[in-house]
Amino acid sequence: MKFTVAIDGPAAAGKGTISRQIAARFGFAHLDTGLIYRAVGAKVAEGMTPEAAAEGLVPEDLERGDLRSLEAGQAASKVAAIPAVRAALVEFQRRFARQDGGAVLDGRDIGTVICPGAEVKLFVTASPEVRAHRRWLEVGGDASQVLAEVKERDDRDMNRADAPLRPAADAVTIDTSEMTIDAAVDAACAEVLRHQRG
């Protein structure tokens, strides 16, 4: 059975948590596509060209312990703006999405570019202030600086020429600003069930 759930949204909106919960609940494979870009960014920081890092990416690269840092996130956003990097990683993601047994992918352009034919498309968002507070709870530091970085990343992701962050026309939006994580997961799972039955 091939069944793809595409989940997009800005940083710290909750899409990763929701994606992992859907995967666990339905027995789907899960790919955090942001990790792909973080892994490429980490390889670039070690001296590789962005194109070589993307073309040579292997699944083991996604298991590095340093991919969740704020620096890795910023590096990911920068390499993700390079068309040659995005092109090299598209097929990797599409193969994952259509594997037997179902798959959940979360990122910035899954429903719009990577898997426009996904059975379920969700756009998970929250206000910049809420997302910055969540990120600050994770990484600490200066709260105003974290908010500035969230807004800067949003601007870069939404205004890049290639595959900008935006909801697919047929995506269901889940705004987690005022939701508990359980309520957000339940709303997302209800959409998956609706399409499985439909």
Binding site for ATP, by residue number, is 9-17
Rounded to 10 degrees, what is the CA torsion of 114, 79, 108, 130?
Answer: 170
Contact between 174 and 123 under an 8 Å Cβ cutoff? The reply is yes
Could you tell me where the DSSP H helices lie in 15-173? 15-26, 33-45, 50-55, 70-80, 83-97, 128-139, 143-159
Structure tokens at 134: 């969540």
Closest CA to 176 of 124, 129, 140: 124
Query: In 3-state terms, what secondary structure has residue 126?
Result: coil
What gap in Å lies between CA 69 and CA 157, rounded to an integer? 18
What gap in Å lies between CA 150 and CA 98, rounded to an integer? 32
**What residue numbers does the annotated binding site cover?**
9-17
